[in-house]
Amino acid sequence: MTPPPFSLPRRSLVLAGAAAALLPLRQAVAQTAAAGGDWLQMVQAQHALVAKSFDKLLASGNATYTTRDQLVHALAYQLTAHSVAEENVLYPAIAMAGMVNESDKLYLDQAHAKVMNAQLEMQSRLKDKGNWQEAARALQAAVLQHAKEDEEARLYPQLQARLSPGENALLTQNFMREFRTVGLRRMTG
Ligand SMILES: [Fe+2]
């Protein structure tokens, strides 16, 4: 039996779902730190996990409504936690390094992605009528272009090159701290 379209799940289930969705992203940060990696490697690892979550969702074509709903929400938790850590630490650093227009564009792209994410959540709740695959593919294209082409291939390496080793080390610490706290806020707020 499928739940009514706009019923709210129990709080304990929401918290468990959020914790499970964020666990791989937390582990990626911890493992990268343990191996002596920096903020850019942490971000790359998280991007790869988000890309996997898109693949999993898009491969769930015939899954039950409940399974798809869980995959949509897991993806949303991951995108939120990752994006807020970037918006609070990395985009300000890009602006402070003299790339103000580039930083502005990253914020704007991420705001658009949040709208697209909300569209996906709405479409996935409409069941028979909703075209959630189309919404998921549009969000996937926007997020991966932003992550791979704009951030990983261009702006993050430029930021890293403009900072001293000490500044990069501080950015790594700040990214870790922010991701940890944004995950907590998301789960307890
Ligand atoms: Fe990113």
Residue 93 lies in a domain: yes
11-20, 28-37, 153-162 — which is least confidently predicted?
11-20
| Lookup: tokens for 25 | 């992203």
Q: What burial letters (b/e) apply to 87-97, b meaning 16+ CB within 10 Å?
A: bbbbbebbbeb
Q: What is the CATH number of the domain that holds 128?
A: 1.20.120
User: Do the beta carbons of residue 5 and residue 65 sit within 8 Å?
Assistant: no
Burial of 58 (0-12, 13-18, 19+ CB in 10 A): middle
Residue 1 lies in a domain: no
pTM above 0.85, yes or no: yes
Residue 4: what pLDDT? 54
Residue 136 lies in a domain: yes
Gap between the Cα atoms of 162 and 7, Å rounded = 49
Residue 6 lies in a domain: no
Q: Which residues surround ligand 1, an ion (CB under 5 A)?
A: 147, 151
User: Do the beta carbons of residue 112 and residue 143 sit within 8 Å?
Assistant: no
Q: What is the 3-state secondary structure (H, E, C) of 164-177?
A: CHHHHHHHHHHHHH
CA–centroid distance, residue 85 to ligand 1 (Å)? 9
Residue 2 lies in a domain: no
DSSP track, the chain: -PPPTTPPPPHHHHHHHHHHHHHHHHHHHHHHHHTT--HHHHHHHHHHHHHHHHHHHHT-TTS-HHHHHHHHHHHHHHHHHHHHHIIIIIHHHHHHTT-HHHHHHHHHHHHHHHHHHHHHHHHHHSTTS--HHHHHHHHHHHHHIIIIIIIIIIIHHHHHHHS-HHHHHHHHHHHHHHHHHHHHHHHH-
Q: What domain count does the chain have?
A: 1
Residue 73: what pLDDT? 92
Gap between the Cα atoms of 188 and 18, Å rounded = 10
Residue 5 lies in a domain: no
CA–centroid distance, residue 122 to ligand 1 (Å)? 23
Segment 46-100, tens digit of pLDDT:
999 999 999 999 998 777 778 888 999 999 999 999 999 999 999 999 999 999 9
CA–centroid distance, residue 45 to ligand 1 (Å)? 10
Residue 38 lies in a domain: yes
Segment 89-136, tens digit of pLDDT:
999 999 999 999 999 999 999 999 999 999 999 888 876 656 899 999
Query: Residue 76 sits in which domain range?
Result: 11-188
CA–centroid distance, residue 175 to ligand 1 (Å)? 12
CA–centroid distance, residue 131 to ligand 1 (Å)? 26
CA–centroid distance, residue 188 to ligand 1 (Å)? 23
CA–centroid distance, residue 139 to ligand 1 (Å)? 14
Helix (H, G, I), strand (E, B) or coil at 76: helix
Residue 51 lies in a domain: yes
CA–centroid distance, residue 84 to ligand 1 (Å)? 9
Gap between the Cα atoms of 39 and 174, Å rounded = 9
